[in-house]
Amino acid sequence: MCLTVSSCCNRDILTDVPPQFLNYPTNTYAYESTDIELECAVTGNPPPAVRWMKNGEEVIPSDYFQIVDGSNLQILGLVKSDEGFYQCVAENSAGSAQAMAQLLLREPGKDSAHRYKWYW
Protein backbone atom coordinates (compact mmCIF):
# COMPACT_ATOMS: atom_id res chain seq x y z
CA MET A 1 0.00 0.00 0.00
CA CYS A 2 1.34 3.45 -0.93
CA LEU A 3 1.53 6.09 1.77
CA THR A 4 2.37 9.01 -0.55
CA VAL A 5 2.24 9.65 -4.25
CA SER A 6 6.02 10.01 -4.42
CA SER A 7 6.62 6.65 -2.76
CA CYS A 8 4.21 4.97 -5.19
CA CYS A 9 5.79 6.57 -8.20
CA ASN A 10 9.32 6.29 -6.77
CA ARG A 11 10.13 9.85 -7.79
CA ASP A 12 9.96 13.34 -6.40
CA ILE A 13 7.00 15.49 -7.29
CA LEU A 14 8.16 18.59 -9.11
CA THR A 15 6.56 21.83 -8.10
CA ASP A 16 6.25 24.94 -10.20
CA VAL A 17 8.92 27.52 -9.40
CA PRO A 18 8.65 31.09 -10.71
CA PRO A 19 11.54 32.50 -12.74
CA GLN A 20 14.59 33.64 -10.79
CA PHE A 21 17.63 35.44 -12.15
CA LEU A 22 21.02 33.75 -12.06
CA ASN A 23 22.64 36.62 -13.99
CA TYR A 24 21.19 40.09 -14.47
CA PRO A 25 21.77 42.37 -17.46
CA THR A 26 24.17 45.21 -16.58
CA ASN A 27 24.29 48.85 -17.58
CA THR A 28 26.59 49.11 -20.59
CA TYR A 29 28.59 51.75 -22.44
CA ALA A 30 29.63 50.94 -26.00
CA TYR A 31 30.79 52.62 -29.21
CA GLU A 32 28.83 52.84 -32.45
CA SER A 33 29.47 50.01 -34.95
CA THR A 34 30.50 47.57 -32.19
CA ASP A 35 28.65 44.40 -31.18
CA ILE A 36 27.43 43.86 -27.62
CA GLU A 37 25.76 41.12 -25.61
CA LEU A 38 23.38 41.81 -22.74
CA GLU A 39 23.34 38.82 -20.40
CA CYS A 40 20.26 37.41 -18.76
CA ALA A 41 20.33 33.95 -17.17
CA VAL A 42 17.20 32.62 -15.49
CA THR A 43 15.98 29.45 -13.86
CA GLY A 44 12.57 28.14 -12.90
CA ASN A 45 10.20 25.19 -13.31
CA PRO A 46 8.96 24.81 -15.93
CA PRO A 47 11.93 26.48 -17.67
CA PRO A 48 10.98 30.10 -18.30
CA ALA A 49 10.52 31.64 -21.74
CA VAL A 50 12.68 34.76 -22.09
CA ARG A 51 11.97 37.80 -24.23
CA TRP A 52 13.58 41.23 -24.44
CA MET A 53 12.01 44.68 -24.49
CA LYS A 54 13.58 48.01 -25.47
CA ASN A 55 11.99 51.13 -24.01
CA GLY A 56 8.79 49.15 -23.38
CA GLU A 57 8.51 47.57 -26.84
CA GLU A 58 9.32 43.97 -27.64
CA VAL A 59 12.60 43.30 -29.44
CA ILE A 60 11.96 41.07 -32.45
CA PRO A 61 14.88 38.68 -33.14
CA SER A 62 16.52 39.39 -36.51
CA ASP A 63 19.94 39.45 -38.15
CA TYR A 64 20.61 42.56 -36.05
CA PHE A 65 19.04 41.56 -32.69
CA GLN A 66 19.84 37.94 -31.82
CA ILE A 67 19.02 35.75 -28.83
CA VAL A 68 22.18 33.79 -28.01
CA ASP A 69 22.95 31.16 -25.36
CA GLY A 70 19.22 30.75 -24.82
CA SER A 71 18.47 34.12 -23.25
CA ASN A 72 21.20 36.73 -23.90
CA LEU A 73 20.52 39.59 -26.31
CA GLN A 74 23.23 40.27 -28.87
CA ILE A 75 23.08 43.53 -30.84
CA LEU A 76 25.26 43.69 -33.94
CA GLY A 77 26.67 46.94 -35.36
CA LEU A 78 25.36 49.43 -32.81
CA VAL A 79 23.83 52.69 -33.98
CA LYS A 80 22.83 55.72 -31.88
CA SER A 81 19.14 54.71 -31.91
CA ASP A 82 20.05 51.50 -30.02
CA GLU A 83 20.52 53.56 -26.85
CA GLY A 84 17.85 52.98 -24.26
CA PHE A 85 16.56 50.73 -21.52
CA TYR A 86 16.57 47.00 -22.24
CA GLN A 87 14.45 44.68 -20.14
CA CYS A 88 14.80 40.92 -19.86
CA VAL A 89 11.39 39.34 -19.15
CA ALA A 90 11.20 35.70 -18.01
CA GLU A 91 7.84 33.94 -17.73
CA ASN A 92 6.51 30.50 -16.89
CA SER A 93 3.24 29.09 -15.49
CA ALA A 94 4.38 29.91 -11.93
CA GLY A 95 5.06 33.61 -12.55
CA SER A 96 7.34 36.16 -14.13
CA ALA A 97 10.45 38.21 -13.39
CA GLN A 98 11.99 41.26 -15.03
CA ALA A 99 15.39 42.94 -14.97
CA MET A 100 16.51 46.11 -16.73
CA ALA A 101 19.77 47.62 -17.95
CA GLN A 102 20.64 50.81 -19.79
CA LEU A 103 22.69 50.93 -22.98
CA LEU A 104 24.53 54.19 -23.71
CA LEU A 105 26.70 54.90 -26.73
CA ARG A 106 29.87 56.86 -26.09
CA GLU A 107 31.96 59.08 -28.26
CA PRO A 108 35.62 58.04 -28.63
CA GLY A 109 37.89 59.71 -26.05
CA LYS A 110 35.29 60.09 -23.27
CA ASP A 111 35.83 58.51 -19.82
CA SER A 112 33.60 55.70 -18.56
CA ALA A 113 31.63 55.42 -15.37
CA HIS A 114 33.00 52.53 -13.31
CA ARG A 115 29.63 50.81 -12.88
CA TYR A 116 29.24 50.32 -16.64
CA LYS A 117 30.56 47.46 -18.71
CA TRP A 118 32.59 48.56 -21.75
CA TYR A 119 32.55 47.07 -25.24
CA TRP A 120 34.77 47.97 -28.19
Q: What is the 3-state secondary structure (H, E, C) of 17-55?
A: EEEEEEECCCCEEEECCCCEEECCEEEEECCCEEEEEEC
Structure pTM? 0.79
The whole-angstrom distance between residue 88's C-alpha and the CA centroid of its chain comes to 4
Residue 105's pLDDT is 96
2-17: average pLDDT: 59
DSSP state of 9: H
Taking CA 74 as the corner, what is the angle to CA 90 and CA 89, rounded to the nearest 5 degrees? 15
Task: Tell me the average pLDDT across 18-33.
Answer: 96
Q: Which fold has domain 14-119?
A: Immunoglobulin-like (2.60.40)
Tens digit of each residue's pLDDT (9 = 90 or more) over 35-94:
999 999 999 999 999 999 999 999 999 999 999 999 999 999 999 999 999 999 999 999
**Which amino acid would we find at residue 83?**
E
- Give yes or no for residue 3 having a pLDDT over 60: no
Q: What pLDDT, on a 0 to 100 scale, did the predictor assign at position 120?
A: 46
